[in-house]
Structure formats: C-alpha cells, structure tokens
Amino acid sequence: MAVSDAVAFPEVADIETASDDYARRFSGAVGVWMLGIQEGTVLDRLRPYPGATVLDVGGGHGQLAGPLCRAQYPVTVTGSDETCRKRVEPWVQSGVCQFVKANVLALPFDDRSFDTVLCFRLVTHCERWPDLVRELCRVARRSVLIDYPTCQSLNWGASLLFGAKKKLEGNTRIFRLFRHAEIADALGRQGFEVRFRTGQFFWPMVLHRVLRCVPASRALEGVPRALGLCQAWGSPVILEADRRVSEM
C-alpha cells in the first residue's frame, strides 16, 4: 500500500482485494466454481439492460470486470492505488475497460454517471461503509449491486470461529457481518429500494475450500438451494437496489 494513498484515502481495503494473494483464495476448481455463482447472478441481473454502463467500485480483483467485458458492457473499474490496475490490465489494454484511481468515499464522477454501480468484496471491510453506500448510490443512474456477508446465516458464529478460519485459509481478513435491514436502510436513505437479494452459499465458503471437491460442494449446496434455504439464509448476499421512481 502506498503511504500517500493510505493518508489521502481513508478506506483502501480494495488494495488487498486486488492483490495476487487475495486471488489465490479463489484458485483451483473450487474457486472457479464459487466465482461462477457470483458471475452468473450478476450477469442475470444485468441481462435486461444490454449495453448498460457499469462502474465497478474497488473491482481491481477482476472477478466481474472480465465477465462484464466479455458480455460487451462498457466497464469502468476504480482502485485506491495504481497497483489495483494489475488484474484488469488485459481488458484495459484491449480498450474494453477503463481504470480510474479513485477514493471510494469521494468518487470522481458526476451524479448518476453510470447505469449500474457494482461493489463486491469491499463493503464488509469498509469501516465507513454507510459513506461508501452513499457514493455508490450518488453515481448510479438506475441500480446498485453489492455483496456482503450476513449474520442471518451460518456465518452468525464467524467471530467465534475466526481463528480457526484464518488457520485454514491462511490469509483471512477481519470482516463485518451485516443484518439485511442495515443495508436496506442505508440504501433507502439514498432513495434506493431493494429489488433482489439472494445468498450465494448456504454453507460457509471455508468448508468448500477445505473440501476442494466441486462435486461434493455442489451436492452440499444443492439440497438447501432446492429448499429455498440458500435464498433465505445464504451468505455472502448479492443485493440489487433500484433508484425509486420518485427519485428518477
């Protein structure tokens, strides 16, 4: 992390998220499978809006920029440091993606500059997360899509098991669990209403990383997903909120 950026930007968790070390958390077949669930859900939500302009705040991890570029969405990725550009550089070089170094709490864009604003792998690590949500909503013309881990799931005991989780995963960071109402209220204060919400996994992600077996993970997730338990109790959550018609 650049010292100057740490001073200038109060929230720089996306620098770690854009690192090679973080990317290794999603290496191998299980990692590809987990990211596929996230990718599929986001693309499904955007499918009714072909060609929509997308801002991916803190998206230097490249988990969504690549799929969105392949789907021919005009994508802009922000990062708190130039190092956040590394994983999205191939798409930047090909001209299908833009990278902008930016403070996530003071984005350098006009109000309602992008049709859809994404923010994944960041809210949970952001101490001033309500300010982050405010900025996401400010620059979004139509919708905001974010992810967050929730205490209304098997993650409720995460704080008690953090030591064991860190030992198993090796590079786990401290993160915040949210109640759905907290996120919905923060969005509501900015004139946005929750339109869609779903949990990605019923079982904690660390379990799938330990198993290292995609068929076993699919089987474990299949039953609760079929019963609707993942929808109600899954985590991390992917949430879509739209600007209220009265705010258009």
Structural domains in the chain plus CATH codes:
3-242 (3.40.50.150)
Edge-to-edge strands, sheet with 54-57: 97-101, 75-79, 54-57, 114-119, 140-148, 237-243, 192-199
**Cα(20)–Cα(17) distance, integer angstroms:** 8
Over residues 143-183, the pLDDT tens digits come to 999 999 998 877 655 444 444 444 554 555 577 899 999 99
Least confident of 111-120, 181-190, 238-247: 238-247
**Cα(240)–Cα(175) distance, integer angstroms:** 21
Place of tokens 């996120």: 183
How many residues comprise the chain? Answer: 248
The answer to whether 143 touches 195, Cβ cutoff 8 Å, is yes
Over residues 177-221, the pLDDT tens digits come to 999 999 999 999 999 999 999 999 999 888 898 899 999 999 999
